[in-house]
Chain A
Amino acid sequence: MRLRCAEELLFRALMVLSTIAVLSGLLLIIAVITVKGAGALSLDMITRLPTGGYYLGKEGGLLNAIVGSLLLGLGATACAALLAIPVALYLQHDYAGRRRWANLVRMSLDLLWGIPSIVYGAFGFTIMLYLGLRASLLGGIIALTLVELPIMARAMEEVLRMVSVELREASYSVGATRWETMRAVVVRQALPGLLTAILLAFGRGIGDAASVLFTAGYTDHLPRSLLDPVASLPLAVFFQLGTPFPEVQQRAYAAAFLLLALVLLVSVCSRLLTRRLSRHAVK
């Protein structure tokens, strides 16, 4: 009995310690970014484009990267969602989920998830060369869509699968088709989870530097069409950290802080949205 109590205590201590480690890691990252970047944070930074000597420490801002990241992130997330939702629905037991090749699809998604994003960037770049496209917003969105798709599809599939068979049967039993059941019952019930999946993918996408390096390029201007190159925050961090000037490096941390704030903002907004939307969900 003493042994069992000791065991209980030991493992609970382990759990608490691990949780604390994770939390303090997060806090530490935020603290470092804030402390190091705070000096460079200013209104200019989020409202102005970089001027000629910005990367040497002169004045200007990172509006180009902020807008660019938002366009890339939102665009890719929208494209990925358009593909991931049908895939996730198709992988449900009501459709192909039971067949052997559904497992093949799941496995390929898991594999795609593991591919480093620089490879997606290189892949996208090859395709763009083949099509005669330059580095552009469109190219960046395509590469990021590839990065986000496996995460989103897999997360969505898991979330949809949580909707109970009995609930689906309740819909079938009044004469609903599979699609009607999916649309009106399964998706509706899984909505909070689906939004979380989208958010997860958005967070991954907007923070990714490697895949947009070749495909979206970098520029000091705002894009005027899908075919213009576009800047992004992760690359702004990357380029500025690589300079020898301390003030510019400080701006890199400020850019990282902005990225973090952006993800947080989107996250909070969609949580609020979910709460409204899931008013009817069956617990």
Chain B
Amino acid sequence: MSHIVVEGLSVRYNGQPALDNVSLEIPDRQITAVIGPSGCGKTTFLRCLNRLIDTMDQVRVSGRVLIDGADIFAPRANVISLRRKMGLLSQKPQVLPMSIYDNVAYGPRLHGVRRRRDLDGIVQRCLKMSSLWEEVHHRLRAPATGLSVGQQQRLCLARGLAVEPEALLCDEPTASLDPLSAQSVERLFVELKSRYTIVLVTHILRQAKRLADYVVFLYMGELVEHGPAERVFNNPRDERTRKYLEGVIS
């Protein structure tokens, strides 16, 4: 059994359906690209997986999301440990108002890592994983806002990695980056997928083709098609998928 399983997930905003009865399994340790035209529910889907959807107004979620077999929407579910398991990378890098070091150490500190040496180790390891170490190791105490946007996004990645997640949820993570930074983030995903399950929302088809092992196509809140990238891209079963891939609908 794969570790993220979605069963009959529906979301309504103010009664308006945004996701309608979505069921699928997300394969472990692969990159799953969620694609579809604007407003089809990609962000909504992603926000269900770490229950950030809870923080929004007037939403109703029904259905189940099982992570390691446990329903994350169950009344007793622990949101803190869920969010820790599911790292998030948003469209615009959101660095915290503190130093580079503290940004990475933020999560581990919350979860009880206190010893200076342990924190130093985590910070160094995560900055290396997000290939930022070389650029910032001499100025770890500087404000994180001093970094370029591309560096900030990699810092956000390091911050997410520092709490040892099992999956990374990425919502158009390269949308606000320049091409070179975008490329380096993409390269990181390829390196990281051996250890993490990555769910990547993107509206760049070419990016999905470059990176995805598995593809999920949403259209107007409906799960139209999902399957291995090779198959979906070369051989879409649904008319709407084919049209979207051909650029007829967008």
Contacts and interface: CB of A to CB of B under 8 A. Distances in A.
Given A98-B57, A167-B94, A188-B98, A173 B144 contact: no
Interface in B52-108: 52, 55, 57, 80-81, 83-84, 86-88, 90, 92, 94-99, 106-107
Interface of B: 50, 52, 55, 57, 80-81, 83-84, 86-88, 90, 92, 94-99, 106-107, 110-111, 143-145, 156, 159-160, 162-163
Nearest to B165: A174
Interface in A222-271: none
A94 B55 contact: yes
Contacts, number: 83
Given A171-B96, A282-B145, 17 more contacts: A98-B57, A170-B90, A170-B94, A171-B106, A172-B52, A172-B55, A174-B83, A174-B107, A174-B110, A174-B160, A174-B162, A175-B111, A184-B98, A188-B98, A280-B143, A282-B97, A283-B145
Interface residues of A, number: 27
Contacts of A173: 50, 52, 83, 86-88, 160
B107 A175 contact: yes
B73 to A, nearest CB: 16
Interface of A: 93-94, 98, 164-177, 180, 184-185, 188-189, 279-283
26 contacts: A165-B55, A167-B96, A167-B97, A168-B55, A169-B52, A169-B55, A169-B88, A169-B90, A170-B96, A173-B52, A173-B87, A174-B83, A174-B84, A174-B87, A174-B106, A174-B107, A174-B160, A174-B162, A175-B111, A188-B97, A280-B97, A280-B99, A280-B145, A281-B145, A282-B96, A283-B145
B110 A176 contact: yes
Greatest chain B CB density within 10 A among A167, A177, A189, A283 is at A167
A244 B81 CA distance: 74
Nearest to B57: A98
Nearest to B98: A280
Contacts of A282: 94-97, 145
Contacts of B90: 166, 169-170
Contact of B159 (A98, A168, A174, A189): A174
Nearest to A94: B55
